[in-house]
Amino acid sequence: MDFDYFSYLFFGGLTRGSIYALIALGYTMVYGIIQLINFAHGEIYMIGAFTGLIIASVLTMMGLPSLAVIIIAAAAAIIYASAYGFTIEKIAYKPLRDANAPRLSALISAIGMSLFLQNYVLLAQTSDFLPFPSLIPDFEFWEPYSHIWTSAELVIFITTVIVMILLTFLIKFTKIGKAMRATSQDKTMASLLGINVNRVITFTFVVGSATAAIGGILIASHIGQINFYMGFIAGIKAFVAAVLGGIGSIPGAVIGALILGWTESFFTGYISSDYEDVFAFLFLVGILILRPSGILGKSETQKV
Amino acid sequence: MTATGEIKKSVLVSLWFMFLTFPIMVIRVNTVQDVVEWRWLNMAYIGIGTFFISMLWRYMIRRKEREGKKEKTDNLSFAQKIILDKKIFIPLVALTGLFIIVFPHMFSMYQTNIMISALIYVMLGLGLNIVIGLAGLLDLGYVAFFAVGAYSYALLNLHYGLVFWLALPLGGFLALIFGVILGYPVLRLRGDYLAIVTLGFGEIIRLVLENWNEFSFGPSGIPNIPKPPLFGVDLSLSGSIIYLYYIIVGLVIFTIFVINRLENSRIGRAWIALKDDEIACQAMGIDKARTKLRAFGLGAMWAGMAGVIFAAKTTFINPASFTIWESVIILCTVVLGGMGSITGVISGALLLILLPEYLRAFSEFRMIIFGAVLVLMMVFRPGGIINNVRKTYKFQKT
pLDDT digits 0-9 by tens, A183-236: 888 888 888 998 888 899 999 999 999 999 988 888 888 887 888 888 888 888
- CA B36 to chain A, closest CA, distance in angstroms equals 7
If you average pLDDT over residues B51-67, what whole number do you get?
A: 83
CA trace torsion A42, B61, B374, B73 (10° rounding): 140
Secondary structure, 3-state, A165-234: HHHHHHHHHCHHHHHHHHHHHCHHHHHHCCCCHHHHHHHHHHHHHHHHHHHHHHHHHHHCEECCCHHHHH
Determine the pLDDT at residue B231.
65
A3-290 fold? ABC transporter involved in vitamin B12 uptake, BtuC (1.10.3470)
pLDDT at B170 over 60: yes
Residues of A in contact with B29 (CB under 8 A): 53-54, 57-58, 130
Closest CB to B34: pick one of A61, A105, A284. Answer: A61
pLDDT at B146 over 70: yes
pLDDT at B75 over 60: no
Q: Are A33 and A105 in contact (CB under 8 A)?
A: no
Determine the pLDDT at residue B135.
84
Lowest mean pLDDT among A71-85, B5-19, B71-85: B71-85
Closest CB to A125: pick one of B28, B196, B328. Answer: B28
If you average pLDDT over residues B333-351, what whole number do you get?
A: 84
As a whole number, the mean pLDDT across chain A is 83
If you average pLDDT over residues B101-125, what whole number do you get?
A: 85
pLDDT at A291 over 80: no
Asked if B368 and A285 come within 8 Å (Cβ–Cβ), the reply is no
If you average pLDDT over residues B143-160, what whole number do you get?
A: 89
As a whole number, the mean pLDDT across chain B is 82
For chain B, the structural domain boundaries read 3-69, 80-380
Chain-centroid distance, C-alpha A250: 12
| Banded model confidence at residue B1, pLDDT cuts 50, 70, 90 | low
Chain-centroid distance, C-alpha A175: 24
Residues of A in contact with B136 (CB under 8 A): 104
pLDDT at B71 over 60: no
Asked if B371 and A113 come within 8 Å (Cβ–Cβ), the reply is yes
Asked if B195 and A37 come within 8 Å (Cβ–Cβ), the reply is yes
Residues of A in contact with B42 (CB under 8 A): 124
Q: Are A229 and A127 in contact (CB under 8 A)?
A: no
| Banded model confidence at residue B212, pLDDT cuts 50, 70, 90 | confident
Give the whole-number percent of chain A exceeding pLDDT 70: 92
| Banded model confidence at residue B32, pLDDT cuts 50, 70, 90 | low
Amino acid at B195: A
Determine the pLDDT at residue B208.
85
Closest CB to B193: pick one of A105, A125, A288. Answer: A288
Asked if A120 and B61 come within 8 Å (Cβ–Cβ), the reply is no
Asked if B279 and A304 come within 8 Å (Cβ–Cβ), the reply is yes
Secondary structure, 3-state, B94-161: HHHHHHHHHHHHHCCHHHHHHHHHHHHHHHHHHHHHHHHHHCCCCCCCHHHHHHHHHHHHHHHHHHHC
**CA gap A247, A189 in Å, rounded:** 22
Beta-carbon count within 10 A of B296 CB: 26
Determine the pLDDT at residue A80.
92
Determine the pLDDT at residue B22.
82
Q: Are B152 and B205 in contact (CB under 8 A)?
A: no
CA-wise closest residue to B206 among B296, B141, B125, B153: B141
**CA gap A284, B193 in Å, rounded:** 10
pLDDT digits 0-9 by tens, A103-147: 778 888 888 899 899 888 888 887 778 777 776 666 667 667 666
Crossing angle of the two packed helices B237-263 and B342-358, in degrees rounded to 10: 150
ipTM for this model = 0.84
pLDDT digits 0-9 by tens, A148-169: 677 778 888 888 899 988 988 9
CA trace torsion B201, B206, B211, B216 (10° rounding): 120
**CA gap B296, A276 in Å, rounded:** 28
If you average pLDDT over residues B247-275, what whole number do you get?
A: 88
Helix (H, G, I), strand (E, B) or coil at B222: strand
